[in-house]
């Protein structure tokens, strides 16, 4: 059975296959933007290194109701006051409830990068309050009332140069279970 016979059997006697035109079809070749490619390669290399810079060494375990407040030297008091009172409204909100430390770290890092890309100055991180603690080797419950994610977020943000300040949120935004984060203005950062 020839190809023409197979074709006729499948589609019927009245239908003929198209005649070959002699043209060849080539797949389009994607243009490689060397600048874009280089930027993607650099980001792939530097992002994990920078994410790893959000280390856990030396963090302090905080209480669930403890208020957080941190600011870099040189930040004007008016900006800190506006942040503390919730007048700088966050453009990005991330919720870390139910995430382990590694996932929470990645989410915080991604939110900071997204905010910088979109030139957002304020983000809200909902870290929650206290967990139920953990069981030690003997099976006893330890660190109840201690906020593990909150403690790590407090420690991580102090390591990020782009973070100018952060403080516990107003009750309407989560109170001591959330923080407002003020980021450096990217335009001012480039001038330095």
Output the pLDDT for position 66: 85
Find out whether 181 and 157 touch, Cβ atoms under 8 Å: yes
**Assigned architecture for domain 49-191:** 2-Layer Sandwich (3.30)
pLDDT at 137 over 70: yes
Find out whether 86 and 172 touch, Cβ atoms under 8 Å: yes
Residue 38 CB neighbours (<10 A): 10
Tell the residue number behind the tokens 């990020």, with chain if given.
160
What pLDDT digit, counting tens, does each position of 35-66 carry? 666 766 666 555 444 444 566 677 788 887 88
pLDDT at 98 over 70: yes
| Bridge partners, residue 182, by sequence | 122, 165
Q: What is the pTM of this model?
A: 0.64
For residues 24 and 160, the model is more confident at 160
Nearest to 51 by CA among 106, 9, 121: 106
- Average pLDDT of span 91-96: 93
pLDDT at 122 over 90: yes
């Amino acid at each position: 059975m020839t190809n023409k016979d197979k074709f006729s059997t499948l589609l019927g006697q009245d239908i003929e296959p198209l005649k070959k035109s002699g043209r060849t079809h080539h797949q389009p070749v994607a243009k490689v933007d060397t600048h874009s490619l280089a930027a993607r390669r650099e980001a792939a290399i530097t992002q994990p290194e920078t994410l790893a810079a959000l280390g856990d060494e030396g963090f302090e375990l905080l209480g669930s109701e403890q208020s957080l407040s941190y600011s870099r030297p040189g930040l004007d008091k008016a900006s800190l006051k506006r942040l503390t009172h919730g007048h700088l409204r966050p453009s990005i909100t991330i919720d870390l409830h139910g995430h382990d430390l590694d996932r929470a770290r990645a989410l915080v890092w991604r939110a900071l990068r997204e905010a910088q890309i979109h030139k957002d100055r304020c983000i809200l991180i909902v870290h929650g309050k206290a967990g139920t603690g953990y069981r030690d080797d003997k099976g006893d419950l330890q660190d109840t009332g201690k906020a593990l994610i909150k403690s790590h977020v407090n420690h991580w943000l102090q390591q990020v140069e782009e973070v100018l300040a952060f403080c516990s949120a107003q009750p309407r935004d989560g109170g001591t279970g959330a923080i407002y984060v003020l980021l450096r203005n990217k335009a001012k950062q480039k001038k330095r």
